[in-house]
């Protein structure tokens, strides 16, 4: 040290260290300076800036406020204070500080930039735009003002403008991760996920430690339907930002997409723990719990979400679903109105409703609206489809060769769909078809899973695979006809079908409605469940099977161990009514009628399933409100299926639900020898039991009005002899009628597959087809039977002619003229329901026959569950179409 040099002051040492990047040394020196002089403005400002740089914005406030107060004309001091306020979320104070700075130094670029950023964060967009204009005016060649302009465009919902600006910035500085991320976000906001993907990938390459970029890359992969890559990116985001609830939510969503529901639930639970104010976290947590069958916990999660965001349409729809499952009708009633209004508004505005297609058809028989909901859901799904359609393997264009049938399902475990289909898989004629089962749901050790694996020529477990990989596997296997057993039901994964892995794709069984998808060619159904009058409410062509659309397993075991009613809490005497359907299928109107039955028959009880304490308590409360003692409701647990089928024998009369019928529940009751009373409704879900009852030869158990339903129940409940005779008929019919003839069903389904395959090979577009079951009768026998019927008709012997036509049409159900004559005779006899069935056969076989459509219109004009289709039938009668070749 020379004689002229003096020691640096603490303030000077602090500034030197700060400039040299020695932040620890600078902080020590600043604090030393402030001990010596607490009013040292330079040290106050310096340590405030340093605290901001080291991630301590709360500590920075006090020294920066003191510095600004002591030097109010220092523009940089005001900017520093504004930055501290902004970092602490105190945006109004930040904006005031920046404005004070600019009042003193109008050309302070950092002041304008920070003011614009704060105004953007505060959603004061017009003021932000003015600030950005000032910044661009003062720094026309700089990139940061352009970035702020792009951010403003995004906030104004102008992503195309934002993308234009970011594209220019990326062109100037391709190695800037922030610009890449901005461009990716702007492209994604326009639905351009494919275009956004390379920019997100470049952003994470340039800034591999930026958790948000990994999170957004994962979201982009997920939007493109690639759950595996989405999961990898979200795992990286969570590793870099473990305390972010949003990252846990997106991690859970990727796991959910892969069918890893327990892991997804754990991620959503972590999100809830990190941010209990996140309604989205609660909703997703509830969805995972619901998928795991933990409905009571799911309902609690949905209630939390609803309390946080009561106006959110998604939260309303999810909570409503659980309230209906728990039969909490007072709480559900206002939500029903709101969800219905939300759905109509969304459709009117061209948006996807938050209500699922399955939830919609569970509450409404308006199939046209359900179709619109389904199409909206499919439209959103389209944006997630990962790339172009897959390449199908070459196929031999032989109309008679063995067909490769693929069944695509999440339900090959202890699930109703598996209960219904395993017998079919076992009975398929391997000379006619090769059977592949593509399982994308959970596995278990159940008998149904084991039987399905054993029955399939190829059983492929696809759980956890991405949708493109799934589609590529199915395409490589050369499947001719791919049958989706899910539709819009729980566990559905239709993205793979959108990639067109098979030349013909069909929907069947698991979802009682239209998919709304242009990549599903056929709906496999029957004329009762989906009558020709309703065809316009389906995006698919209809493949009408003979008798019934629903397969059944005629090898289902019924436990040989006889049990007493007392074992199940049932009285030894008195009539036992039962409805062992899921809670969401029970409605206030049907329950009220059931309570009327109990009041009419003092010793009767109603047997219900009880999946939760909440449902039990709610139904007991409702019973009390109807004047029925709670002990007259008996609640059933869930034993093994053979034991369950045996205990059903204790039921005197099964009561079907209305808007959404029992499916497997109805078949199980009939298999166990229990008659089921059903109300035929106006859409697929409410016509299933009617279809099943016709196929077992008991159409008299189908009511057309609630009053008929009540009368049927009382008649058989009061008349033990009539009830016994009915059960005897059911027992006899079980071995004679089509419902439980699994081999016969398999042949009819195979005939349907053959018909649509032949049509495909002709190059014809999908069109509705009525499958005709061959009787094996000789042409001469058929001609003789038809001749007898016609002679009786012309002789005016109406009753005898009806019987003769029935016999003749059993031999040749595809004879249109015979079906038409029988329909006319039945209508003349006043048997309108039976006549309508025959007219449906007529128009299914020949859609151009105006006479059939006109007769249906006349029948519907007199009322009934399908009266809504009267105008549609009249239009068809007036504007016949050309005959549909099959």
d(CA 633, CA 577): 10
Looking at residue 263, its pLDDT comes to 97
- What is the per-residue pLDDT for 192? 87
Cα–Cα distance, 655 to 716 (Å, whole number): 12
Q: Where in the chain is the domain with CATH 3.40.50.2000?
A: 565-739
Q: Which has more pLDDT, 853 or 258?
A: 853
Residue 568 near residue 644 (C-beta atoms within 8 A): no
Handedness of CA 621, 622, 627, 628 (dihedral sign): negative
Q: Render pLDDT for 88-109 as a digit per residue (tens, 0 to 9).
A: 999 999 999 999 999 999 999 9
Q: Residue 687: left (phi > 0), alpha (psi -120 to 50), or beta?
A: alpha
Q: Which two tokens stand for residue 831?
A: 């048997």
pLDDT for 134 beyond 90: no
pLDDT at 4: 57
Phi, psi of 504 (to 5 degrees): -125, 130
Map tokens 């696809």 to a residue: 462
Q: 178-182 — which CB contacts under 8 Å span 24+ positions?
A: 178/147, 179/143, 179/147, 180/206, 181/212, 181/213, 181/216, 182/147, 182/150, 182/151
**Tokens 């859409």 — which residue?**
683
Rounded alpha-carbon distances, angstroms, from residue 849 to 188, 596, 730, 810: 51, 45, 36, 22
Tens digit of pLDDT for each residue in 640-651?
999 999 999 999
Q: What is the mean pLDDT of residues 766-782?
A: 96
Read off the tokens for 469.
């990989």
Give the dihedral sign, CA 153/159/164/165.
positive
Residues 337-379: pLDDT tens digits? 999 999 999 999 999 999 999 999 999 999 999 999 999 999 9
Cross-sheet strand order for the sheet of 433-439: 458-461, 433-439, 403-409, 481-484, 504-508, 522-525, 541-544, 769-770
Segment 394-411, tens digit of pLDDT: 899 999 999 999 999 999
Tell me the torsion sign for CA atoms 32, 35, 36, 42: positive
**From CA 287, how far away is CA 291, in angstroms rounded?**
6
Closest CA to 676 of 701, 694, 651: 701
Kindly report the CATH number that applies to the domain delimited by 565-739: 3.40.50.2000
Domain with CATH 3.40.50.11380 in the chain: 403-544
- Give the number of other Cβ atoms within 10 Å of residue 148's Cβ: 23
Q: Please, where are the H alpha helices in 562-652?
A: 588-600, 613-625, 641-647
Residues 178-219 pLDDT 10s: 999 999 999 999 888 889 999 999 999 999 999 999 999 999
Distances (CA, A) of 885 to 397, 531, 540, 544, 881: 19, 19, 17, 14, 12
Indicate whether 580 pLDDT > 80. Answer: yes
**Residue-level pLDDT at 216:** 97
CA distance 200 to 496: 24
Residue 884 is predicted with a pLDDT of 43
Q: Say what the pTM is.
A: 0.87
Gap between the Cα atoms of 729 and 712, Å rounded = 16
What pLDDT does residue 93 have? Answer: 95
Query: What contacts 652, CB < 8 A, 6 or more positions away?
Result: 575, 576, 577, 674, 716, 717, 723
What is residue 141's predicted lDDT score, i.e. its pLDDT?
A: 79
For position 882, what pLDDT does the model report? 46
Reported as a single tens digit per residue, the pLDDT across 456-470 is 999 999 988 888 889
Q: Taking a C-beta distance cutoff of 8 angstroms, is the pair 496, 421 a contact?
A: no
**CATH 1.25.40.10, the chain: domain bounds:** 775-878
Percent of the chain with pLDDT over 70: 98
What band does 880 get if pLDDT is binned at 50, 70 and 90?
low
- Check residue 467 and give its pLDDT: 85
Residue 258 has pLDDT above 90, yes or no: no
Q: Per CATH, is 403-544 categorized as 3.40.50.11380?
A: yes
471 pLDDT more than 90: yes
Which letter does DSSP use for residue 148 in this model? H
CA 397/CA 361 separation, integer angstroms: 39
d(CA 544, CA 528): 9
Q: SS3 for 579?
A: strand
Average pLDDT score over the chain: 95
pLDDT band at 885 (very low <50, low <70, confident <90, very high): very low
Per-residue pLDDT band at 883 (split at 50, 70, 90)? very low
Could you give the 3-state DSSP secondary structure of residue 432? coil
Please give the Cα distance from 118 to 278 (Å, whole number).
24
pLDDT tens for each residue of 281-306:
999 999 999 999 898 899 999 999 99
Kindly report, residue by residue over 666-694, the tens digit of the pLDDT: 999 999 999 999 999 999 999 999 999 99
At residue 3, does pLDDT exceed 60? no
Strand partners, 606: 577, 633
Residue 522 predicted with pLDDT over 50: yes
Q: How far apart are CA 97 and CA 90, in angstroms?
A: 11
Calculate mean pLDDT across residues 37-51. Answer: 92
Calpha distance 528→551 (Å, rounded): 15
Mean pLDDT of 602-622: 94
Which range, 145-149, 223-227, 868-872, has the best average confidence (pLDDT)? 868-872
31 CB-near residues (< 8 Å, 6+ apart): 47
CATH 1.25.40.10 fits 775-878, yes or no: yes
Nearest to 489 by CA among 578, 390, 580, 584: 584
- pLDDT band of 224, cuts 50, 70, 90: confident
Long-range CB pairs of 863-872 (<8 Å, 24+ gap) are: 864/704, 864/832, 864/833, 864/836, 865/680, 865/681, 865/682, 865/686, 865/687, 865/704, 866/531, 866/533, 866/534, 866/682, 866/836, 868/682, 869/533, 869/534, 872/533, 872/536
Tokens of 678: 């059903």
Sheet containing 676-679, strands listed edge to edge, beginning at the edge strand earlier in sequence: 633-636, 605-609, 576-579, 653-655, 676-679, 702-703
For the residues 254-278, what does the mean pLDDT come to?
A: 95
Span of 481-485, 635-639, 739-743, 780-784 with lowest mean pLDDT: 635-639
The rounded percent of the chain whose pLDDT value lies above 90 is 87
List CB contacts of 577: < 8 A, sequence separation 6 or more.
Answer: 594, 597, 598, 604, 605, 606, 607, 651, 652, 653, 654, 655, 713, 717
Task: Give the CA distances from residue 770 to residues 537, 751, 752, 812, in Å, rounded to whole numbers and listed in that order.
Answer: 18, 10, 8, 13
Using alpha carbons only, what angle is made at residue 690 by residues 816 and 667, rounded to the nearest 5 degrees?
120
pLDDT tens readout for residues 13-32: 989 999 999 999 999 999 99
Of 489, 287, 498, the residue nearest 384 (C-alpha): 498
| Overall average pLDDT of the 223-236 stretch | 91
| Structure token pair of residue 876 | 């068809």
Can you tell me the distance from the alpha carbon of 698 to that of 716, in angstroms, rounded to the nearest whole number? 14
CB 681 within 8 A of CB 865: yes
pLDDT value of residue 370:
99
Report yes or no: 455 and 425 within 8 Å, Cβ to Cβ. Answer: yes
């Amino acid at each position: 040290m020379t004689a002229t040099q003096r020691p640096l002051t603490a303030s000077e040492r602090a500034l030197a260290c700060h400039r040299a990047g020695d932040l620890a040394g600078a902080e020590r020196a600043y604090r030393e300076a402030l001990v010596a002089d607490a009013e040292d403005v330079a040290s106050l400002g310096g340590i405030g800036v340093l605290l901001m740089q080291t991630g301590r914005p709360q500590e920075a406030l006090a020294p920066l406020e003191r510095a600004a107060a002591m030097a109010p004309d220092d523009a940089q001091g005001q900017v520093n204070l504004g930055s501290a306020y902004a970092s602490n979320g105190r945006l109004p104070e930040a904006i005031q500080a920046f404005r004070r700075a600019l009042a003193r130094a109008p050309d302070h670029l950092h002041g304008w930039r920070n003011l614009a950023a704060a105004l953007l964060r505060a959603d004061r967009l017009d003021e932000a735009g003015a600030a950005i204009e000032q910044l661009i005016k003062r720094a026309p060649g700089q990139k940061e003002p352009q970035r702020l302009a792009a951010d403003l465009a995004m906030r104004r919902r102008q992503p195309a403008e934002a993308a234009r600006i970011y594209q220019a910035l990326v062109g100037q500085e391709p190695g800037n991760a922030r610009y890449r991320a901005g461009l990716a976000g702007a492209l994604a906001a326009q639905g351009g996920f494919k275009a956004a993907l390379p920019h997100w990938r470049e952003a994470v390459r340039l800034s591999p430690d930026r958790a948000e970029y990994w999170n957004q890359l994962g979201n982009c992969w997920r939007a493109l339907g690639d759950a595996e890559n989405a999961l990898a990116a979200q795992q990286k985001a969570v590793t870099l930002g473990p305390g972010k609830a949003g990252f846990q939510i997106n991690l859970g969503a990727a796991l959910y997409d892969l069918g890893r529901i327990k892991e997804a639930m754990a991620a959503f639970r972590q999100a809830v723990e990190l941010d209990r104010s996140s309604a989205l976290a609660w909703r997703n947590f509830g969805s995972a719990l619901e998928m795991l069958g933990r409905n009571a916990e799911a309902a609690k999660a949905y209630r939390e979400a609803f309390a946080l965001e009561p106006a959110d349409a998604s939260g309303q729809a999810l909570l409503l679903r659980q309230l209906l499952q728990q039969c909490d009708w007072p709480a559900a009633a206002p939500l029903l109105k709101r969800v219905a209004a939300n759905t109509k508004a969304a459709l009117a505005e061209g948006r996807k409703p938050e209500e699922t297609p399955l939830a919609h058809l569970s509450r409404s028989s308006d199939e046209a609206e359900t179709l619109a909901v389904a199409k909206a859901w499919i439209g959103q799904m389209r944006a997630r489809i990962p790339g172009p359609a897959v390449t199908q393997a070459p196929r031999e264009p032989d109309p008679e060769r063995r067909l490769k049938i693929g069944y695509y399902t999440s339900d090959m475990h202890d699930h109703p769909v598996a209960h219904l289909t395993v017998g079919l898989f076992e009975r398929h004629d391997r000379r006619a078809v090769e059977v592949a089962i593509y399982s994308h749901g959970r596995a278990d050790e159940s008998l149904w899973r084991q039987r399905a694996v054993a029955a399939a020529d190829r059983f492929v477990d696809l759980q956890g695979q991405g949708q493109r990989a799934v589609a590529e596997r199915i395409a490589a296997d050369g499947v001719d006809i791919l049958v989706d057993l899910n539709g819009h039901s729980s566990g559905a994964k239709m993205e793979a079908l959108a990639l067109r892995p098979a030349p013909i794709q069909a929907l069947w069984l698991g979802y009682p409605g239209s998919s709304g998808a242009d990549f599903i060619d056929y709906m496999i159904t029957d004329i009762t469940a989906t009558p020709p009058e309703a065809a316009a409410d389906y995006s698919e062509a209809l493949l009408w099977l003979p008798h019934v659309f629903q397969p059944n397993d005629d090898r289902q075991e019924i436990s040989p161990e006889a049990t007493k009613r007392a074992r199940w809490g049932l009285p030894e005497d008195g009539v036992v009514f039962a409805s062992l359907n899921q809670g969401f299928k029970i409605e206030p109107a049907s329950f009220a009628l059931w309570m009327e039955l109990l009041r009419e028959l003092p010793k009767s009880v109603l047997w219900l399933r009880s999946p939760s304490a909440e449902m039990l308590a709610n139904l007991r409360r409702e019973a009390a409100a109807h004047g029925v003692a709670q002990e007259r409701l008996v609640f059933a647990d869930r034993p093994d299926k053979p034991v369950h089928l045996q205990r059903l024998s204790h039921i005197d009369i099964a009561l079907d639900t209305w808007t959404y019928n029992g499916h497997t529940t109805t078949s199980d009751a009939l298999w166990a020898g229990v008659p089921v009373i059903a109300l035929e409704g106006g859409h697929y879900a409410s016509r299933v039991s009617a279809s099943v009852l016709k196929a077992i030869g008991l159409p008299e158990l189908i009511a057309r009005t609630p009053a008929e339903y009540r009368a049927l129940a009382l008649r058989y409940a009061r008349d033990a002899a009539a009830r016994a005779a009915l059960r005897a008929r059911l027992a006899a019919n079980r071995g004679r009628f089509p419902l439980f003839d699994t081999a016969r069903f398999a042949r009819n389904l195979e005939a349907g597959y053959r018909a649509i395959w032949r049509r495909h090979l002709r190059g014809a577009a999908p069109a509705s087809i009525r499958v005709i079951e061959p009787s094996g009768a000789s042409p001469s026998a058929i001609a003789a039977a038809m001749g007898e019927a016609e002679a009786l008709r012309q002789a005016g012997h109406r009753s005898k002619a009806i019987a003769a036509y029935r016999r003749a049409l059993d031999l040749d159900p595809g004879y249109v003229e015979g079906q038409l004559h029988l329909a006319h005779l039945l209508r003349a006899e006043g048997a309108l329901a039976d006549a309508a069935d025959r007219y449906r056969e007529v128009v299914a076989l020949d859609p151009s026959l105006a006479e059939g459509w006109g007769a249906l219109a006349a029948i519907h004009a007199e009322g009934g569950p399908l009266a809504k289709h009267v105008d549609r039938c009249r239009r068809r009668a007036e504007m016949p179409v050309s005959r549909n070749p099959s």
